[in-house]
Structure 1
Amino acid sequence: MPPSPSEAPIAYLFDVTSGQILFEREADRRFMPASITKVMTTFLAFEWMEEGKILPQQSFSIRPEVWKRWNQVGSTMFLPHDARVTVDDLVHGVTTVSANDGAAALADGAAGSVDKWVAAMNAKASEIGMRDSHFGTPNGWMDEGNTFVTARDLTTLATQMLRRHPSKYRRYIGHREFTYNDITQSNHDPISGVVPGADGIKTGFTNQAGYGFLGSAERNGRRLVMVVAASPRGRDRNRAARDLIEWGFSAFDQQRLFAPEAEVAMAEVQGGDSTQVALVAPAGVYVDIPAGAHRDVKLTVNYEGPVRAPIRQGEQIAILTVSIDGMSDFSVPLVARDTVDEAGLGRRILNGVLGWIT
């Protein structure tokens, strides 16, 4: 069953595969994420790697002022003052041993200053739809409340990381230990290696914030993301995280309604070389139903139509709203399966005649 409010005052469970919220408590309550902030730094690093702004094998020298500010402050990867360290090592240090010095060195080296990196973090958070979060540091160190998030926003961040960067996620997230400069440290993730299928993502703790965790697990192709936060003790946070993710897998049965790229509906097209375009869900359409229960499922396709050509293959055209008795509605984007070009003169005349006839 889900954790009690005393164990996890903030709790959220999301099925990435279906897009359903399975459990929420205080999902939009702002809280200080502490080191969970480093997930935003990690995601921005993944984005910049993808764009070619930084490379894993690229090396940065640690500027003296950055080293002095963060040398052995909180969790650390023990960067030497004269270190020249690769992006790959810095990201591993951030994700596995929660290195505050590693996060600051990555930010300063990649963006030219920590402040510029933090500005990029906030811009990226806004871009992906984190509507009620703000970052003041690259590592979540206490900053008088300037850094805050919500459970819903953290789930958005984790979901985007998983969907956009699956190979980087596998490379950098969920490792049990990390060795740098001949020093080996363990990951404090409470579910990886304990809960089947669990592979991260990040713990957080300060006296002000309490204990929190953003985590994920995958079983049989089904991916869940969860948040627990503001727990009073580490053992409460750890138990709450394990209970919530296990409950998510056991309490619901998942059904596939449409396979990836299968036609879900047709949309009317205006001014195109075709009068209709097939709509598909690239990742498929899935629903989670309470285990052993029968629930009616209603599907509604919404779009402003007819859609005017030209239409690009993969362009989002509509929203599929899924309604399940006794559960919250959720939505799945539908995109064009094919390209529809603008109609030539002959086709426009034929379309006009057909429209007049019908």
Structure 2
Amino acid sequence: MKHVTRSLLAACLALSAVPAGAQSEVAVPAVPSAQDVPIAFLADLGSGQILHAREADRRFVPASVTKVMTTFLAFEMLDEGRLKPDQVFAMDRQTFRDWGRKGSSMFLNEGDQATVDQLLHGITTVSANDGCAVMAVGATGSVEKWVALMNAKARELGMTNSHFGTPNGWMDEGRTFVTARDLFILSRALITRHPELYRRYIGKPSYSFNGIVQSNHDPMIGHVLGADGIKTGFTRQAGYNYLGSAERDGRRLLMVIAGTDRPAIRTKAARAFIEWGFTHFATRTLFAAGKPVARAAIQGGAARSVPLVASRPLVVSFAHGTQPKISLMVHYTGPLKAPVQAGAEVAELEIRIAGQEPFRTPLVAAQNVSEANWWQRLRNGLAGLFA
């Protein structure tokens, strides 16, 4: 097996054609004033294109943004049937001693019971530290076991610069840390793997438990068109952080703001940053969802190759008034070995836009390819001789 790179020359030539009077290079619009925002990151969910990155790989303390990993782990368990929405967990004595009324809370008392559904609403909407602990103990038997699963999920997703020490981001002498790029990886998985659960639990303006109504402190919900969260965070050690998202006309942007020293700065920066992303870039669809992008060779299959497609529309962004040169390359380790399942991620499309950081987006097999029978093996062998 070898790494195969295919340059899509025809696509490159078609996409890089420059109309008369247009610029050939991207003049990326200036980022809105981000004074006192040490870390800022903005990317397109669909393509993975990074629109702006400041200190994207700098480790920082996430505070309650940690709860996004707890939420993602719970979503994974719900989809796998390891958790049920109506499953009931209780606040036991030790968990109450450790986490009762500690920071933001659902106000769970010792002995109180809550369903997984209630705990998730408490975690995502009112940032319940106690809710995270009850979920962890109820689902796995201990906070430590839950945290181990959080870190296993981080490794699985490729979050190479992140580590979790608690389920909720409470101060732990720096054992919990993330990067903006890793939070993008996490939030992209949260939304794309679990769209229905995301809509159910993320972006709610308030939540009531035990007769206590609390508001969501998200700086964009109700103020920015299409905004639905995802999570704020604050401790004295971390400052004011934010992982946010908004969707307009089918285009979703994800944003990280971290290390600000006042909530007003975080709010102003978040709203300005997301608006900048939506209003200062034009978009172009390179390939519709399901449209063949290229073909990958297959070894030992009923077919000698399989079409590669994007599972969602491949849309790229560039500055208004420009028509930048765009080059495309397909990367995969091949030939692929049969059988190949339709929908399996088997390749990546690398997209290079003049003046911007290159990025890659997954390509999937468009159809099933079974193992070859004797006749197909003979046919493939003869075709290989004359190829």
TM-score by length of 1: 0.96
* Cα gap change, 1:208 to 1:344, in 2 (>3 Å): same
Structure 2 residue 75 is matched with structure 1 residue 20: no
Structure 2 residue 302 is matched with structure 1 residue 273: yes
Hey, what does 1:107 align to over in structure 2? Answer: 136
Hey, what does 1:254 align to over in structure 2? Answer: 283
CA distance in 1 between counterparts of 2:165 and 2:153 reads 14
The SS at the match of 1:171 is helix
CA distance in 1 between counterparts of 2:236 and 2:302 reads 63
**Kept in 2: contact 1:7–1:240 (CA 8 A):** no
Structure 2 residue 117 is matched with structure 1 residue 88: yes
Hey, what does 2:97 align to over in structure 1? Answer: 68
Aligned-residue Cα RMSD (Å) equals 1.4
Alpha-carbon deviation of 1:3?
Answer: 4.7
Structure 2 residue 317 is matched with structure 1 residue 288: yes
Unaligned runs of 5+ in 2: 1-29
Match of 2:172 among 120, 128, 143: 143
**Kept in 2: contact 1:2–1:243 (CA 8 A):** no
Letter of the aligned partner of 1:183 in structure 2? I
CA distance in 1 between counterparts of 2:212 and 2:333 reads 58
CA distance in 2 between counterparts of 1:185 and 1:308 reads 54
Hey, what does 1:329 align to over in structure 2? Answer: 358
**Kept in 1: contact 2:32–2:276 (CA 8 A):** no
Alpha-carbon deviation of 1:4?
Answer: 4.0
**Kept in 2: contact 1:6–1:231 (CA 8 A):** no
Alpha-carbon deviation of 1:216?
Answer: 0.3
CA distance in 1 between counterparts of 2:336 and 2:235 reads 51
Letter of the aligned partner of 2:246 in structure 1? A
How many equivalent pairs are there?
358
> Which deviations, in whole Å up to 9, do the C-alpha atoms of 1:98-155 show, x marking residues without a partner?
1111111111111111111111111111111111111111111111111111111111
CA distance in 1 between counterparts of 2:152 and 2:385 reads 49
Structure 2 residue 382 is matched with structure 1 residue 356: no
Q: Which moved more, 1:140-149 or 1:309-318?
A: 309-318
Letter of the aligned partner of 2:190 in structure 1? M
Q: Which moved more, 1:270-279 or 1:174-183?
A: 270-279
> Which deviations, in whole Å up to 9, do the C-alpha atoms of 1:150-171 show, x marking residues without a partner?
1111111111000011111111
Alpha-carbon deviation of 1:321?
Answer: 1.2
Q: For 1:188-199, what aligned pairs fall within 5 Å after superposition?
A: 188-199=217-228
Structure 2 residue 369 is matched with structure 1 residue 340: yes
CA distance in 1 between counterparts of 2:81 and 2:297 reads 39
**Kept in 1: contact 2:34–2:269 (CA 8 A):** no
Hey, what does 1:219 align to over in structure 2? Answer: 248
The SS at the match of 1:303 is strand
Alpha-carbon deviation of 1:5?
Answer: 4.8
Give the structure, 1 or 2, with the largest relative contact order (CA under 8 Å, sep 6 or more): 2
**Kept in 2: contact 1:16–1:223 (CA 8 A):** yes
CA distance in 2 between counterparts of 1:109 and 1:306 reads 46
TM-score by length of 2: 0.89
**Kept in 2: contact 1:33–1:209 (CA 8 A):** yes
